[in-house]
Structure formats: structure tokens, C-alpha cells
């Protein structure tokens, strides 16, 4: 359904161009949940913003190909892109506190999106907003549509944002760390909600997070990103049981286990991710990798197989 | 909410009393000269000085003097000028108020409309030549002394180009009553309105542009884009709407300040006999009672209009309304 | 997103060096600075110009004559309009040193007066700025740092001053002081002294600066590095001087050109209303007032000083914008209202 090929996103800075995304390719199939993991700055959000056409900064250059249901999105006129956005592809953002316009009621904001894409009356749009709020388990939806964002708790707001994203039955939903800003108990509820809605609406979901635990909970397939590239990709079960890339291994090692013997100390990855303008020439993870060798001086490719990693140890 | 309003009213009252005390101190307690000599004006005779002393109770304690001043201005309204013996000051202020209001309200309409247009267009085209041009234009507007601009306007419309088709409609300087001559009222005020408005158009255009650009960086604008709304709708319904709250605050301050005396320079240049002109004439003759009255009424108006803005604010910003 | 990127990009130089580099690269700000300095230097040369031109800038010289193209011309010409009773001052000759911009209604050389007037305008605006910044910093520091009763009292006083329309406050102060001057303890300011407008303009704008300074000090007071200093037992004066003042300094520096601009406009307005600079001294405001009566016959008398004000104020505003962008891009100091 979504095919991204060799996507590159570069920023023009005072000190020359900086490549935030360096040749990323992936697919999203109908109805699946793809988890995208990586540290902040790994490019997971930027690549999905590029898919949404939400990078408006004139200093940014986007290259490569993004095909949505066979249609090329890179270079698509803004007006056409706008018709897709919100109707076909919807997005949920990280911080529900700031994601809603403070001066309008949530009912108004949901109805606004519905009416931007469908020619229906204000009355019908309001009814649809009420139904949506009920669907995301907000109590008293008749009353809730008249609430302003600041009158709702963080979890409630995120539910409202999700209701808004689902309002036009999108076939692809991009969720950018939707649970990060929430309390742990609320996080679980929201994850359940996303899963339930994904089943009901049969949308595909791209779920961005830095939390391997969340991925384990929700994803069908996983894509691990590091320094603007995909380092490993595969089925969730395969990837968790048999991580190939040293970075993925390190990520999994840093999660506390619920069963079995607890390690005395959680492992952490030595060093820190490279700065955007200062990325290594070859494999970006090499400086932090215990297994590096001569081959790591060039960029490893990610084979287009079911479960594979961009690492010379795995694919010599 | 009731508590907030009560607190606001209390604060307003405090500022009002504070201002009146400040005015009292400036006029009656500034060291350097006998206040009765100041009030009586230049070359006053001993009899007049004596009359002033008695009228303002300078033989009584300070707080009595303050009360006498307040009574004369706000209760009995019998404050009289000693330069123009016997001239009642308070009715003169009330007569002048419609002129000042005509000038300021008209200018306010112009500057709000043009300020919003310029600020929005500049923000929508940010970084372009149009944006730069509008911002430079705004800065020039802010940098011009309004009375000088008024003189240039007069030079162009009353003298140099008065006999051309462009400005032959401009009537001579002065004010026409709106009820007896609405057409004359409108025509005489057009040039003063624009003159007064230009500074504020520049100011509001620049401030609004900055606010809009800041608002366009907000997360909710990204949400609005993700919803598939048009850029125009995002700019007007989301960014502009949230920026309007600070716009209204600024407007309240400026509108109040203008009615409260800042329009004085415009009135002087265009010979409009409003409150500012009254103040100016009193300045020339050192007629202190007149200035006392205009200053107090004007600053009270400022405080009042600021309080009014807070009420409007409540309607514009739901966060304040339901807090 | 691009902001995140840029933050990682800018290498750490000293904050001042970075700011100066940014300012140096800001072409508009540099042009404004140059323009301002040129006008200032021209005004500083006023005595030289006046001495060289032999035209009186301050005394009325109704019977003076000058040479134009070998002909002797009266500075005050008999009016040819109306009854022919009035006198018209000579218009611009466009010859430097020879009534370049013409004469005013007392036969004085407008060009000389313009330069001398500019000197006064800059002097008053500059001195008033120093006064405002000094007292505003004191008040802002005290209110923001000590809080409690000090803050409550100072803030209420600032509230009252803030609500008081600037021009009305200035007019009230002027009219009380103009005829008799003021004596506060050892300080005596005579009426007609330039210190009077400096003092008045300096006072009325204190809340404009003191309020933002207070706010900044309050947030600095809560910041971790000040908390740490307090925890380490540093004295109040040390914290104020070493930790808080340097951070407030950027705000104050941005305020300098903006307040200068605002003060120039205020000074000229007060002088125009005849409660600023007093005759025989001149400032750009008083010259515009001199020119008001001659507006339709000799417009240059009013036009020239007005243009000088617009240019200077514009330059100062552009410079202020540039300084703000260079020093403190995220600050919210707004252009003052005049």
C-alpha cells in the first residue's frame, strides 16, 4: 500500500547540507502495524513527516520515491497532497497537550476535519464527532464535544486526537510516539485503543516509538532505525527472538526482563549517537560497535529480505 | 470567574486611586514652587493667589486638599480656571470628548483593518519581497512623528496639491458636528484618521506578523496541516484566531492611551477641538486646573478601557473563561 | 525539526562573540548603524558649521543680508502676498554655509539650527535612556530578586505608572516644572534647563523597561544555576552581580536603541508642544514648531527636522531589531509605542 524507496531528506545549514534521512526504503501492507524504533534523532519521525508531506521548511530537500497505493507522493502538488492528508493518511502526534488548537472545542476541531473532506452538514459532522468520541471511550460524548482542550486530561486529549485522526476512516494511520507523554496506566489504555480501532477500521498503522516494550505490545513488523538509516527489519517475533544487528541486540538488552534471572545491571550502549553533521562515513553504528572490523568503513546495505540487517557481520 | 472579575475590579479601583494620588502629588506637592502660584498662572495678583489658596484648601492638611481636588473634579464639577477667570473646566472637557472619540474611533477602525491585513499578508508570504517591503513600510510608519506627518499631510492636501483633482475635496481644517453636518464630519476627519492610524498600522502589522509566525510553529498548526486543511484556513482560523488575544490586549492599551491624550498631537495639527486640544491650549497659558481635569479624566478612561479589554479577553480565550 | 538541527550545528563560541558576528552579518542593522553614526557626526559638527557659515543659529537676525550669485539679498523679504505687511524668510539656497535650508521667521539659519537641534535631541534621548535603564534595572532587580513586600510595593507603583498615559504624565510633570524648575535635596534643575526634559522622559518610560527586567530576574531567580549558587552559600550581592546581571544585560542592550528611538520621538513631541526644550535652545521638535507657521510658504523649515527624526528613529529601530535578533533571538521584547 505504501512503498518508500531510497528516501533522502537533507537540511541546508550554515555549515552545508545535513542528511537527516539517508536512503530509507520500506513497505507498509494493508491492515498491518509497522513499528518504527530508534533513539531521538534517528530519523524515524522525519521520514514519516516526509511521507505525510508535512515538511514545509524551504531549506529541506526530499529525494527518492514515496508511493501510496501506486501514486507518487514526492513532488505531488500541495493541493493534491492536502486531499490525501487527513482523509487517506492521518497522523497522531506525541504531545496531546499542544496538538489541539486551544481556542476551539474538540467537537469543532473534529467536525472541521470531517467537513474539510466530505460535503456534509454541520449537524451531521457534529453527530459523527459524537460517535467518534464514543468510539474512543470518552464518557458523555454529547457533552465532551463542547469541551475545550485545556479542560481535558492528557489521556482524554489523546483520545480526542485519535478520534480526529480516524474521522475520515484513513487507510493509513501514522502514530508518532502517541503514548510517550502519558502516564503508564493511560499508555496501556491508549495502546489497547489503537489496536482495537485498527481492527475495526482496518487501517494500516505506522507506530513510531523509542520504546521496545511498546513495540513488543503492538507491532506486527518492526523496523529499527539508527542515524537516518534502517539497520534491521523483520517480523516482530523473529526480530525479538533472533536480533541480527548489534544495535538491535543492544536495544533489547537494555530492557529489563520480566521473567528469569534479573541481570545485576542493565546493559547500556557505550557512546552516543553521532551528531547530524558528523556522521561516520561507513556504518554509522561502527564507532559504538564491539564487533566492528575493516568492512565497516563502507556503508552496509539492507537486503530486501523478510528479516535482515544492514551489517557486514550478517551479510558479508 | 466571579472571583476573577471581582479581583480585576479591585485592581482597577486601586490603580484609579493610585493615579489620582499621583496626579495630586505632581500638581500640589512637587517641590520648587508654591502650588497656588502654579495654579494661578503667570503674573497672578495677590488676590488671585489668595482665591486659589482658599478654593483648593491649601491651608488645610494634605488629605483634605486631595479630597477637595477630587470633589471639584468628579462630584461637583465646579473646578474653575484662574487664567480664564470663572471658566468651568469640567463641562469644557465633556464638550470636547465627542471630538476626540470621533478621531480615535475612526483611526482605530482603520488601523485594526489594515494592521490585520498587512500582518497576515506578511506572515503568509514570509521571507518574500512583499513581506520585506511591508515590514519596512511598517517600520517607517512607526518611526514618523505623528504631528510631523500631519503637517506634511496638510502641506499636501491643503496647500500644494489642494487644487488638483486628488485633494480638492479636502475641507479646511476644523471639526464639523456629526449630527448637524455628517458629510462634513466625515470629510474633515478622513485625513486625520489616516494620519493617526499610520503609526498603529505599522505597529500592529509588525506585531501580528511576529505572533502569527510564532503561532505557525506551534504543534496545533502541524495537527491542522495533518488534517488536510488549506494553508489559508490554517492561517486564518487557527494561527490568526489564537494570535488575536494578544492583539486585543495591545488594542485596549493603545485605544485607551489615545483617547486619554495621545491623540493630542493629531488634534493640534488638524485643529480639532478635542480633549487633547484643550490640554494643549492650557499648556500654552499654563492653566493647571484644565490639565488636572483632562489628565484625570483621560487616565481614568485608560484604566477603564483596559478593564474592558480584560472582559473581551475572557470571551476570546476559553482558557481564561473557564479557569 | 530544523531548529533541532540548527542547535546542534552552531558550534559554541562565546555568546558575545556569536552575537557580534551575527550582528556584523546583518546588513540592514549595519546600514542602520552607519546611517545613525553619520547623522550623529553631522550634528556633532554643528559648532564648526555655524562658525564657518557666519549665520546666526540662535539670535534673531531680521535685517541680515546674504550674497547669492553676486547679488545682495535680504534674509527677510517683504511679503508680496496680501497686504504686503508681513515678512517672509528666505527659502533654501541649496548653497552650503549660505542659508542652505533657508531661514526661519526670525531670520536664523535653519541648517545650523538643525545641526544644533539634533545635538540636543540626541543628548536628551541618550541621557534619558541612561536614566531609564539605570532606575528600571534597580527596580527590576530589587523587585524580581527579593520578591515579597519589596516586589509587591514596587510592582503596584509600576502598575500605576504603566496605566498613566505616557504623554499625559510627561505633560503633567512638564507643566508643573516648566515655570519654576525643581529642587530635590541637593539637586536643583532650573526651568529651561535641558535636564528637565531628560528627567521627565527618563521617568515616564521606567515601567516599560522595569517590568520585563523584573520578569526576567524572577525567572532567573528560579533557575537551577541560581538555586545552586544559593545552595553553595553565595551572598546576595554576588549572585546579583555574577549570575543575574550578566543575563539581564542582553535585554538591557537590546533596549538601548529602542528606548533611544522612543525617547527621540517623545522629546520631539514635547518640544513641539513647547514643554520640552525651551527657547533659545533648539531641538528637532522645536524647529518643526517654528516651521508650523511657515508651513505653506517655507515648508522646508518643518520638513527638514522631521526627515531627520524619521531617519534617526528608523535607523535606531532597525538597529534594535538587529541587536535583538543577534543577542536573544527568542526574546519577546517588543518595539515600544510612541
Look up the CATH number of the domain holding residue B200. Answer: 1.10.3720.10
Q: Which of C172, C273, C335 sits opposite B26 (nearest CB)?
A: C172
Over 50: is that where the pLDDT of C269 sits? yes
What is the Cα–Cα distance from A221 to A233, expressed in whole angstroms?
8
Residue A42 belongs to some domain of the structure: yes
Q: Is residue A283 part of a domain?
A: yes
pLDDT digits (tens, 9 = 90+) for C203-214: 999 998 998 899
Q: What is the mean pLDDT of chain C?
A: 82
Mean residue pLDDT across chain A: 87
| Å between A96 CA and nearest CA of chain B | 9
Interface predicted TM-score (ipTM) of this complex, two decimals:
0.88
Say yes or no: C7 contacts chain A, CB-CB below 8 A.
no
pLDDT band at residue C79 under the 50/70/90 scheme: low
**C3 and chain A: CB distance < 8 Å anywhere?**
no
In chain A, whose CA is at the least distance from the CA of B245?
A103
The percent of residues above 70 in pLDDT, for chain A, comes to 95
Domains in chain C, ordered, with CATH?
110-335 (1.10.3720.10)
What is residue A109's predicted lDDT score, i.e. its pLDDT?
94
A140 inside domain: no
Q: What percent of chain C has pLDDT over 70?
A: 90
Q: Which of C163, C273, C335 sits opposite B302 (nearest CB)?
A: C163
Give the chain C residue whose CA is nearest to the CA of A16: C9
Number of domains, chain B = 1
Angle at B119 between CA B117 and CA B124, to 5 degrees: 95
Q: Could you tell me which chains touch chain B, where touching means 3 or more CB pairs under 8 A?
A: A, C
- Residue B209 inside a domain? The answer is yes
| Residue A240's CATH number | 3.40.50.300
pTM: 0.85
Q: What residues of A are in contact with residue B318 (Cβ under 8 Å)?
A: 102-103, 148, 150
Distance from the B11 Cα atom to the nearest Cα atom in chain C, whole angstroms: 10
User: What was the pLDDT predicted at C333?
Assistant: 43
- More confident call, A182 vs C75: A182
Average pLDDT over residues B171-189: 88
Q: Is B37 a residue whose pLDDT tops 60?
A: yes
Given this model, what pLDDT does residue B55 score?
Answer: 82
Alpha-carbon distance A54 to nearest alpha carbon in chain C (angstroms): 11
Task: Report pLDDT digits (tens) over A63-82.
Answer: 999 999 989 998 889 889 99
| C182 contacts chain B (CB < 8 A) | yes
**Per the structure, how many domains does chain A have?**
1
pLDDT at C226 > cutoff 80: yes
Dump pLDDT digits (tens) for C275-322: 888 878 889 999 998 888 888 888 888 899 999 999 999 999 999 988
Structural domain includes residue B102? yes
> Which residues numbered 284-323 in C keep a CB inside 8 Å of some CB on B?
285, 288, 291-292, 295-296, 299, 302-303, 306, 309-310, 313-314, 317-318
- Residue A16 in any domain: the answer is yes
Q: Is residue B322 part of a domain?
A: no
Q: 3-state SS string over chain C?
A: CHHHHHHHHCCCCCHHHHHHHHHHHCHHHHHHHHHHHHHHHHHHCHHHHHHHHCCCCCCCCCCCEEEECCEEEECEEECCCCCCCCEEECCCCCCCCCCCCCECCCCCEHHHHHHHHHHHHHHHHHHHHHHHHHHHHHHHHHHHHHCHHHHHHHHHHHHHHHHCCHHHHHHHHHHHHHCCCEEECCEEECCCCCHHHHHHHHHHCHHHHHHHHHHHHHHHHCCHHHHHHHHCCCCHHHHHHHHHHHHHHHHHHHHHHHHHHHHHHHHHHHHHCCCCCCCCCCCHHHHHHHHHCCCCCCCHHHHHHHHHHHHHHHHHHHHHHHHHHHHCCCCCCCCCCC
Q: Which residues of chain A are within 8 Å of residue B228 when distances are taken between CB atoms?
A: 82-87, 113, 116-117
Average pLDDT of the segment spanning C71-82: 70
Residue of B nearest to A99 (CA): B220
Distance from CA of C163 to the nearest CA of B (A): 6
Q: Which sign does the torsion angle of CA B258, C336, C279, C114 carry?
A: negative
List, as ranges, residues 138-167 from C with C-beta within 8 Å of B. 156-157, 159-161, 163-167
B229 and A90 in contact by Cβ < 8 A?
no
pLDDT 10s digits, A146-192: 999 989 988 899 999 999 998 998 999 999 988 887 888 888 888 88
Tell me, yes or no, whether B314 lies in a domain: no
Measured between CA atoms, how close is A87 to chain B, in angstroms? 7
| Domain of A298, in residue numbers | 1-76+220-255+267-316
Which segment of B153-167, B254-268, C48-62, C73-87 scores lowest on mean pLDDT? C73-87
Q: Residue C306's closest chain B neighbor by CA?
A: B148
- Whether C11 has a pLDDT exceeding 60, the answer reads no
Q: Which residues contact B255 (CB under 8 A, 6 or more apart)?
A: B104, B108, B305
Task: Using the predicted structure, report yes or no on whether residue C151 has a pLDDT greater than 70.
Answer: yes
Residue of B124, B217, B228 to mutate, testing the A interface (most A Cβ within 10 Å of its Cβ): B228
Amino acid at each position: 500500500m505504501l512503498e518508500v524507496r531510497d528516501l533522502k531528506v537533507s537540511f541546508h545549514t550554515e555549515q552545508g547540507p545535513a542528511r537527516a534521512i539517508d536512503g530509507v526504503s520500506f513497505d507498509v501492507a494493508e491492515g498491518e502495524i509497522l513499528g518504527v524504533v530508534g533513539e531521538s534523532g534517528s530519523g524515524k519521525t522525519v521520514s514519516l513527516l516526509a511521507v505525510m508531506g508535512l515538511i514545509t521548511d524551504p531549506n529541506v530537500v526530499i529525494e527518492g520515491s514515496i508511493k501510496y497505493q501506486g501514486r507518487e507522493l514526492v513532488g505531488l502538488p500541495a493541493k493534491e497532497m492536502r486531499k490525501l492528508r487527513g482523509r487517506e493518511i492521518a497522523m497522531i502526534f506525541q504531545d496531546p497537550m499542544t496538538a489541539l488548537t486551544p481556542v476551539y472545542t474538540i467537537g469543532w476541531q473534529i467536525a472541521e476535519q470531517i467537513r474539510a473532506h466530505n460535503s456534509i452538514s454541520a449537524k451531521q459532522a457534529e453527530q459523527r464527532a459524537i460517535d467518534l468520541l464514543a468510539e474512543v471511550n470518552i464518557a458523555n460524548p454529547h457533552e465532551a464535544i463542547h469541551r475545550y482542550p485545556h479542560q481535558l486530561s492528557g489521556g482524554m486529549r489523546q483520545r480526542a486526537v485519535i478520534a480526529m485522526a480516524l474521522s475520515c476512516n484513513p487507510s493509513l494511520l501514522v502514530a508518532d510516539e502517541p503514548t510517550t507523554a502519558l502516564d503508564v496506566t493511560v499508555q496501556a489504555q491508549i495502546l489497547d485503543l489503537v489496536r482495537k480501532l485498527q481492527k475495526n477500521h482496518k487501517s494500516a498503522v505506522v507506530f513510531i516509538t523509542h520504546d521496545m516494550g511498546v513495540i513488543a505490545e503492538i507491532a506486527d513488523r518492526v523496523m529499527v532505525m539508527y542515524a537516518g538509516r534502517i539497520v534491521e527489519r523483520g517480523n516482530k517475533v523473529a526480530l525479538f527472538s533472533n536480533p541480527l544487528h548489534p544495535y538491535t541486540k543492544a536495544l533489547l538488552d537494555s530492557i529489563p526482563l520480566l521473567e528469569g534471572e534479573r541481570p545485576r545491571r542493565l546493559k547500556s550502549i557505550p557512546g552516543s549517537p553521532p551528531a547530524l553533521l558528523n556522521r561516520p562515513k561507513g556504518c554509522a553504528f561502527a564507532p559504538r560497535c564491539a564487533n566492528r572490523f575493516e568492512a565497516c568503513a563502507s556503508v552496509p546495505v539492507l537486503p530486501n529480505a523478510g528479516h535482515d540487517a544492514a551489517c557486514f557481520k550478517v551479510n558479508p | 470567574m466571579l472571583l476573577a472579575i471581582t479581583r480585576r475590579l479591585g485592581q482597577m479601583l486601586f490603580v484609579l486611586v493610585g493615579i489620582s494620588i499621583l496626579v495630586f502629588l505632581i500638581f500640589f506637592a512637587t517641590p520648587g514652587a508654591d502650588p497656588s502660584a502654579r495654579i494661578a498662572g503667570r503674573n497672578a495678583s495677590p488676590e488671585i493667589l489668595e482665591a486659589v489658596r482658599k478654593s483648593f484648601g491649601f491651608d488645610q492638611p494634605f488629605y483634605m486638599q486631595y479630597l477637595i481636588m477630587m470633589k471639584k473634579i468628579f462630584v461637583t464639577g465646579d473646578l474653575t480656571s484662574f487664567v480664564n477667570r470663572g471658566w468651568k473646566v469640567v463641562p469644557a472637557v465633556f464638550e470636547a470628548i465627542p471630538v476626540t472619540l470621533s478621531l480615535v474611533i475612526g483611526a482605530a477602525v482603520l488601523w485594526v483593518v489594515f494592521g490585520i491585513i498587512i500582518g497576515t499578508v506578511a506572515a503568509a508570504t514570509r521571507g518574500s519581497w512583499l513581506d520585506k517591503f511591508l515590514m519596512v513600510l511598517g517600520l517607517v510608519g512607526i518611526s514618523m512623528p505623528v504631528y510631523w506627518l500631519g503637517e506634511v499631510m496638510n502641506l499636501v492636501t491643503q496647500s500644494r496639491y489642494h487644487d488638483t483633482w486628488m485633494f480638492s475635496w479636502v475641507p479646511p481644517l476644523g471639526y464639523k458636528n456629526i449630527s448637524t453636518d455628517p458629510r462634513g464630519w466625515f470629510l474633515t476627519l478622513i485625513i486625520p484618521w489616516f494620519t493617526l492610524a499610520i503609526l498603529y498600522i505599522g505597529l500592529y502589522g509588525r506585531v501580528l506578523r511576529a505572533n502569527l509566525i510564532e503561532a505557525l510553529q506551534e504543534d496545533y498548526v502541524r495537527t491542522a496541516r495533518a488534517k488536510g486543511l488549506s494553508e489559508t484556513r490554517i492561517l486564518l482560523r487557527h494561527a490568526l484566531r489564537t494570535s488575536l488575544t494578544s492583539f486585543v490586549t495591545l488594542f485596549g492599551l493603545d485605544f485607551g492611551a489615545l483617547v486619554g491624550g495621545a491623540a493630542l498631537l493629531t488634534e493640534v495639527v488638524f485643529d480639532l477641538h478635542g480633549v487633547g486640544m484643550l490640554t494643549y491650549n492650557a499648556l500654552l497659558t499654563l492653566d493647571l486646573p484644565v490639565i488636572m481635569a483632562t489628565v484625570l479624566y483621560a487616565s481614568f478612561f485608560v484604566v477603564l478601557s483596559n478593564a474592558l479589554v480584560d472582559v473581551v479577553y475572557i470571551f476570546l480565550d476559553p482558557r481564561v473563561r473557564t479557569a | 525539526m530544523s531548529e533541532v538541527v540548527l542547535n546542534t550545528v552552531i558550534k559554541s563560541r562565546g555568546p558575545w562573540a556569536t552575537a557580534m558576528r551575527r550582528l556584523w552579518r546583518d546588513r540592514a542593522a549595519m546600514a542602520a548603524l552607519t546611517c545613525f553614526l553619520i547623522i550623529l557626526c553631522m550634528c556633532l559638527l554643528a559648532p564648526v558649521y555655524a562658525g564657518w557659515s557666519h549665520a546666526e543659529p540662535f539670535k534673531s537676525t531680521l535685517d541680515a543680508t546674504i550674497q547669492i550669485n553676486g547679488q545682495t539679498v535680504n534674509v527677510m523679504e517683504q511679503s508680496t502676498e496680501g497686504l504686503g505687511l508681513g515678512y517672509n524668510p528666505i527659502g533654501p539656497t541649496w548653497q552650503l554655509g549660505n542659508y542652505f535650508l533657508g531661514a526661519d521667521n526670525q531670520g536664523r539659519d535653519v541648517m545650523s539650527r538643525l545641526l544644533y537641534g539634533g545635538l540636543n535631541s540626541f543628548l536628551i534621548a541618550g541621557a534619558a535612556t541612561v536614566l531609564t535603564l539605570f532606575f528600571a534595572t534597580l527596580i527590576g532587580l530589587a523587585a524580581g530578586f527579593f520578591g515579597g513586600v519589596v516586589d509587591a510595593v514596587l510592582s503596584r507603583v509600576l502598575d500605576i505608572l504603566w496605566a498613566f498615559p505616557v504623554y499625559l504624565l510627561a505633560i503633567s510633570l512638564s507643566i508643573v516644572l516648566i515655570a519654576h524648575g525643581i529642587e530635590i535635596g541637593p539637586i536643583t534643575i532650573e526651568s529651561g534647563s535641558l535636564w528637565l526634559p531628560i528627567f521627565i522622559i527618563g521617568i515616564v518610560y521606567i515601567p516599560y523597561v522595569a517590568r520585563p527586567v523584573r520578569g526576567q530576574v524572577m525567572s532567573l531567580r528560579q533557575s537551577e544555576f541560581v538555586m545552586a549558587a544559593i545552595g553553595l552559600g553565595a551572598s546576595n550581592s554576588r549572585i546579583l552581580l555574577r549570575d543575574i546581571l550578566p543575563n539581564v544585560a542582553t535585554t538591557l542592550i537590546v533596549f538601548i536603541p529602542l528606548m533611544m528611538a522612543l525617547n527621540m520621538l517623545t522629546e520631539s513631541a514635547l518640544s513641539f508642544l513647547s514643554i520640552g526644550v525651551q527657547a533659545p535652545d533648539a531641538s528637532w521638535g522645536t524647529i518643526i514648531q517654528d516651521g508650523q507657521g511657515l508651513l505653506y510658504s517655507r515648508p522646508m523649515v518643518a520638513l527638514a527636522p522631521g526627515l531627520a527624526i524619521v531617519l534617526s528613529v528608523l535607523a535606531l529601530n532597525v538597529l534594535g531589531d538587529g541587536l535583538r535578533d543577534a543577542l536573544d533571538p527568542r526574546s519577546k521584547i517588543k518595539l515600544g509605542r510612541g
